[in-house]
Chains A and B, each alone.
Chain A
Amino acid sequence: MIGLQILASGILLGGIYALISVGLNLIFGVIKVVNMAHGDFLMLGMYAAYFLFTGLAISPYVSAIIIFPVFMVIGYVVFRLVVKPLLGKAETETNTILATSGLQFVLQNLVLMLFTADYRAIQLEGGATSFNIGGVMLSANRTWAFLICLILAVALYYILMHTRLGAQVRAVSQDRDASVLMGINVDRIYALTFCVGVAMVGLAGAIILPVFSAYPTVGTFFSTSSFVVVVLGGLGSFTGALLGGLIIGIVETAAGVFASTELAQVFSLLVFLIVLFVRPQGLLGKGARV
């Protein structure tokens, strides 16, 4: 029974991880840039949802819909100011890591100065309840987050695989230069990808607010988790990130039950290092070693 419970809780947690890391994966897969401030956009999304909830009594699940377009705009501004100037120059990889690390300082400390370091959590009506399915307890908030992750994953997958825009995005991610020759506006695809990546994680911030409390450095923890999930599944591989999320969710839940939560983190980071050494393209990634 405990095995089933761990599996169920792990899958729900994994869904949340997958939801958070989808944006990071999209940006890396297409632009080949690691966004170190990824978790901090999550933090901004959490704060946005928090103030919409406490100020205007808008449920986070509704505010997610408002946050998405707003974060697309934020993503565009960041892309133009921070990422775009570095693309196509020398040492783009390390320079974008450093610039987005700087962005991480900027965002965290901006929030710290504006809203202090207090923990902010919300209580949804009926949020603390659980569904009992054959003796396995599923937390309501986490279940909603998981379902929303599934819906978004299916939607994103559909857009990538079955629309003209999705085909362009995939083309750019496979071969930038050939895409230019085929008449694809690569700059536009880059900007769009970055916007959608940031918007996805902002939305994730709203969705997870009923489960986790918001504070200025909450993003650091989720950034690391996202890297673990994405590298495990394969940087740039879409289904890989879902698989990576589920594996890490189950591993952390099991380690949390049998050891402690701190050791659960150590364990998932060790898995991460081993995957990096042995199979840096991830479990499902196809790309060559970088």
Chain B
Amino acid sequence: MKKLFNTKTQDGKMFIALGAITVILLVCCVAPIGIYNKHIIIQTMFYAYMATAWNLMCGYTGRLSLGHSAYIAVAAYTSLILFRSFDLTPWIGMLLGGVVAMALMLVIAFPCFRFGLKGPYFTLSSIAVMEITRYLLTSMRELTGGSLGMSLPYQKDNLLMFQFDDKEPYLIIILIFWLAAIFLLWKMERTRYYLEAIREDDDAAAALGISVNKNLIKAALLSAFLVALGGTFYVQYYRYVDPATICGSTMALNLALITIIGGSGTILGPTIGAVLVIPVTEILRSNLGDKLSGLHLFIYGILLIVMIIYMPKGIISIPGIIKRKRMAKLANPAGGEHNG
């Protein structure tokens, strides 16, 4: 316990950061800040959670998936269809959706890692899986409602059926999801180091006795399962789902953008990214959406390009950069520019 509250250790810092965010959100829950602001907070936490899950695979392993929408979509549709057809509670549907998403991920990840697909080839195959999933969801009209999408039948406040009239329960649920994901990532310390080693050089990692494929598939399956839970949350919160939105490249790229702005391959990077990006774009979208629809995505695009070029390690790297600059100055007070 003493270790957790010690601000000097990594664990302590993490514990305090998580505690602070949890307290702030719980205060927001009871504070009279209006439905719209609560909606923005829920969205921010939703994307923080989803990007954390994306980062677990893509940030740590360097295998860039721009097709994660596929796993979100199959899970969302699984739990929704089970609910509509068999009245199955989404709490169980969510887990089944996670299993379906993991199965889909296994079908693609196993051959990808087995055949050593990396770089652009891996990214292209992830996009192909997303496109196939979207075409199938669109073409199976009887089951999925086709491109018109499908809505969630309304039931009054019902914890068992994962439906609420107020925003607060959703906020608490997504907060729990997020805490669980962060906690999981935090506790996977050894796997995290393995994945980083694989990202830097998988041959060297294999030579050191790290099982490359096993660790990659572990990260991929976990990532698919976590975004799948988010897919069900998405359906229960928005009460509507259609293939173009949930299984499109915008959703997948959003996760990448948020992670990169915050700092990919770090535990809290995606959360920082979501907190910085989502409220601003959400406000932009709701105020200018009718006049200039697409403005928020336009800004996303510019942000992504600027970040990749000037700060590929994300906002989270700023303290490190400042520290390094200061150290350089201390070492060579005459002029820092010669340090290169």
Q: Which B residues are in CB contact (< 8 Å) with A82?
A: 305, 309
Interface residues of B (CB under 8 A from A): 62, 64, 66, 108, 111-112, 115-121, 123-125, 127-129, 131-132, 135-136, 138-139, 249-250, 253, 256-257, 260, 292-295, 297-298, 300-305, 308-309, 312
Closest to A231 in B: B124
Q: Which of B249, B250, B302, B312 contacts A106 (CB 8 A)?
A: B302
Q: Which of A81, A107, A117, A265 contacts B131 (CB 8 A)?
A: A265
User: Are the CB atoms of B294 and A102 closer together than 8 Å?
Assistant: no
A34-B136 contact in complex given A102-B308, A113-B293, A269-B131, C-beta closer than 8 Å: no
User: Are the CB atoms of B297 and A91 closer together than 8 Å?
Assistant: no
Is A130 an interface residue when CB atoms closer than 8 A count as contact?
Answer: no
User: Are the CB atoms of A269 and B304 closer together than 8 Å?
Assistant: no
Among A182-226, those with CB < 8 Å from B are 216, 220, 224
User: Are the CB atoms of B300 and A262 closer together than 8 Å?
Assistant: no
Among A90-123, those with CB < 8 Å from B are 90-91, 93-95, 97-99, 101-110, 112-113, 117
Q: Which A residues are in CB contact (< 8 Å) with B116?
A: 289
Closest to B119 in A: A93
User: Are the CB atoms of B298 and A262 closer together than 8 Å?
Assistant: no
Contact stretch, chosen from A1-9, A10-18, A272-280: A272-280
User: Are the CB atoms of A262 and B139 closer together than 8 Å?
Assistant: yes
Q: How far is the CB of B199 from chain A (nearest CB, A)?
A: 9
Separation of A94 and B132 alpha carbons in the complex (Å): 22
Q: Which B residues are in CB contact (< 8 Å) with A270?
A: 132
User: Are the CB atoms of B121 and A97 closer together than 8 Å?
Assistant: no
Q: How far is the CB of B8 from chain A (nearest CB, A)?
A: 31
User: Are the CB atoms of B117 and A94 closer together than 8 Å?
Assistant: no
User: Are the CB atoms of A102 and B303 closer together than 8 Å?
Assistant: yes
Among A229-268, those with CB < 8 Å from B are 231, 260, 262-263, 265-266
Is A86 an interface residue when CB atoms closer than 8 A count as contact?
Answer: yes
Q: How far is the CB of A202 from chain B (nearest CB, A)?
A: 19
User: Are the CB atoms of A106 and B298 closer together than 8 Å?
Assistant: yes
User: Are the CB atoms of B304 and A290 closer together than 8 Å?
Assistant: no
Is A227 an interface residue when CB atoms closer than 8 A count as contact?
Answer: yes
User: Are the CB atoms of A105 and B297 closer together than 8 Å?
Assistant: yes
User: Are the CB atoms of A113 and B139 closer together than 8 Å?
Assistant: no
List 30 contacting pairs A-B, 8 Å CB cutoff, sorted by A: A28-B120, A82-B309, A86-B308, A86-B309, A95-B312, A98-B256, A102-B304, A103-B301, A105-B298, A106-B298, A109-B297, A109-B301, A110-B294, A113-B292, A113-B295, A117-B293, A216-B294, A224-B127, A231-B124, A263-B135, A263-B139, A266-B132, A269-B135, A272-B124, A273-B128, A273-B132, A276-B121, A280-B117, A280-B121, A290-B120
User: Are the CB atoms of A34 and B124 closer together than 8 Å?
Assistant: yes
Q: Which A residues are in CB contact (< 8 Å) with B260?
A: 98
